[in-house]
Each structure stands twice: as C-alpha cells, then as structure tokens.
Amino acid sequence: MNKLVTTITLVFISVYAFGQSCCFVTKDEMQLMASNKAFQRSHKLPKPYHHVSKAGGEMITFSTPDGQQANAFFIKAVQPTNYTLFVFQEWWGLNDHIKREAEHFYTTLGNVNVLAIDMYDGKVATTREDAGKYMGGANPLRLENIIKGAITFAGPKAKIATVGWCFGGALSLKASILAGTQATACVMYYGTPVKDVEQLKLLNTDVLGLFAGREKFISPAVVKEFEDNMKLAGKGIQIKSFDAEHAFANPSNPNFDKSATEEAWNMAINYFKTRLK
C-alpha cells in the first residue's frame, strides 16, 4: 500500500511539475495565422542585407532542457554585467537584419550582453511561404525549451530584458513570463499578446507595446484587449499604436516607415535605459 501511495504521489508531482514548466504548449493565434494568405501578403519580401559585426558578435550554441542544442548571435558586454537583452526574430528567422538590430541595441544601450536567439533551429526564410511554414510549424514546446535554454545560458543572476518584432514580439512577452523573477524589461513590436490573465500575472516586469495601427490581424481591438488584460493582472503597460502597417520598423521592409521607427526606437531605448541600470 505504501509503495502504491508513493507511486501515485510521484506521478502527481511529475504531472504538476510538467504543467508548471510548460506555460505555452499550444500554438498561439500568431502561429495559427501563418497559413492565412492575406497575412502572408501583408509581409513584404525583405531587401537583401549582409551583416558584418563590428562589435564582436558571433554565432554560438547553448543547451536546451530537451537535450538538444540551440543557436544564437551573441555579443558579450565589454565589462562583466548581469544584464542580458534577448532579441527575438521576425517570422523570417534569425537573419542578418535581426543581427543588425541586435548590434544596434548593443551599441546604443552600452554595457549589456545581447543574445539574438534562433527560434527556428537554423532555418531562415526568404519567401513568404517558407516564413509561414516555419512560424506555423514551430513546435511550441521546442520554442519554450529554446527560451529556457537561453535563460540558463544567461545565468541565475542575470537580469533579463526582452525585445522582438512580429512573431518575435509575441515571443518577447512569453520569454519575460518564463524568466520569472529574472525578468526586468519587456518590449514587444506588433506581436500577438498572451491573452491568459493568469499567465500575465506571472510577469515580473511591466511591458512596452509598440503596435501598427493600420494592420487588421493584430488589430486595435486586440491591442485594447491586451491592455485591459494587463490591468486585470495588475501589471504595468504602456501602449503606442503608430499610424503604420505591420513590420513598419524593419529597415529591410520596402514599406519601412522611418518616422514611426525612430519614434518607436527612442521609446524602446528610453524604456530599457531606465530599467537596465
């Protein structure tokens, strides 16, 4: 009898631990939109760009909890620091544009480690069809394991900030939730928000949301719901919706909006600088 009780207890603990560790095991609305042809057409093909790092950025690998390896573009701070900024890719993958943006944050923010994480395990899309396939087909559990591996790589004393665009905007918010008490700042550009108020309650940071007011998918109604849910969760939220289209802040986007991008960039930098010090 004692053996049976012990076995049942261990099974219960395992199931509970699994539930606690896996916050995002189903595909979110952004992944489900990936096959929508109108959503695909809303993404202009990126202009060619090849990034050469001037700050010593390099590709690295780190271990993930599922026994695999993940990739990232890493720029180490000049002086030892506990601050690490996670940079999350658009639906295209970890391309040279994202590496450029990661380096831009690095040179602007000063002494901070920057980790641009490859969420597609080496795949980079150059067509809308491939981007939709990679984003829609990504295993949520694998995505979570990559983020958890990045948190472990940053270290137990790391204070983690996150930023991302499009699919990466959604991942930025999820990563800040997964980082728990290590989370110190979160910026999301036009990504689908987490809707579950109970998950939002796990945030240890406020959020700066930068959205595209003209887009139909992550619409003003979706943004308003996010703002309301954050308030219900008792979390700080600052929202700015620009008079621009989705992906307005991507310099390789033919519809790049320079004015909106500069305003959003300044908001993000000011937000980070008040929290990464």
Residues of the chain where predicted confidence (pLDDT) is lower than 50: 1-21
Record the pTM.
0.92
Residue in 182, 262, 193 with CA at minimum distance from that of residue 221: 193
Q: What is the DSSP letter of 200?
A: H
How does pLDDT run across 156-200, given as a tens digit for each residue? Answer: 999 999 999 999 999 999 999 999 999 999 999 999 999 999 999
pLDDT at res. 252: 86
Alpha helices in 110-253 (DSSP H): 128-137, 140-154, 167-178, 197-200, 220-232
**DSSP helix/strand/coil, 144:** helix
How does pLDDT run across 45-76, given as a tens digit for each residue? Answer: 988 999 999 999 999 999 999 999 999 999 99
Residue in 143, 46, 60 with CA at minimum distance from that of residue 97: 46
pLDDT at res. 152: 98
Alpha helices in 62-205 (DSSP H): 96-109, 128-137, 140-154, 167-178, 197-200
Q: CB-based contacts of 101: which residues, under 8 Å, 6+ apart?
A: 87, 116, 165
Sheet containing 69-75: which strands, arranged edge to edge? 58-63, 69-75, 113-118, 83-88, 159-165, 183-189, 207-212, 237-242
Amino acid, res. 82: N
How large a percentage of the chain has pLDDT more than 90? 83
Percent helix / strand / coil, the chain, rounded to 5 = 45, 20, 40
pLDDT at res. 255: 81
- Please name the residue that has the structure tokens 């728990």: 180
Q: What are phi and psi of 210, to 5 degrees?
A: -115, 110
Pairing between β-strand 69-75 and β-strand 58-63 as defined by DSSP bridges: antiparallel
Residue in 144, 51, 52, 128 with CA at minimum distance from that of residue 90: 128
Q: CB-based contacts of 104: which residues, under 8 Å, 6+ apart?
A: none
pLDDT at res. 12: 40
